[in-house]
Amino acid sequence: MTVNVGSLDRLLRLILGAALIACALLSGLTLFDEAYVKYGTVAVGLVLIVTGLVRLCPLYSILGIRTCKL
């Protein structure tokens, strides 16, 4: 498969993914007291980081979206 995540999109995914993981694991907010919320947030953060690193978003592929130049 070809890459479909551009540079700005990639940067935002990496930053947001890291922020979500850090917030869920380190913040101590009562919002993350429930395990499913904490681990769900970590899972979303991991997906964002992985899609940012490999520059391929499966959802973008399905929808025909591309944020990078060819």
- The C-alpha atoms of residue 45 and residue 55 are separated, in whole angstroms, by 15
- The C-alpha atoms of residue 50 and residue 54 are separated, in whole angstroms, by 6
Q: Is 17 contained in some domain? A: yes
pLDDT tens, position by position, 1-57: 789 999 999 999 999 999 999 999 999 889 999 999 999 999 999 999 999 999 999
Domain count, the chain: 1
Q: Is 49 contained in some domain? A: yes
pTM of this prediction?
0.90
- The C-alpha atoms of residue 30 and residue 65 are separated, in whole angstroms, by 37
Look at residue 41 in the predicted model and tell me its pLDDT: 97
Q: Is 63 contained in some domain? A: no
- The C-alpha atoms of residue 44 and residue 22 are separated, in whole angstroms, by 12
Classify burial at 12, counting beta carbons within 10 Å of its beta carbon; exposed 0-12, middle 13-18, buried 19 or more: middle
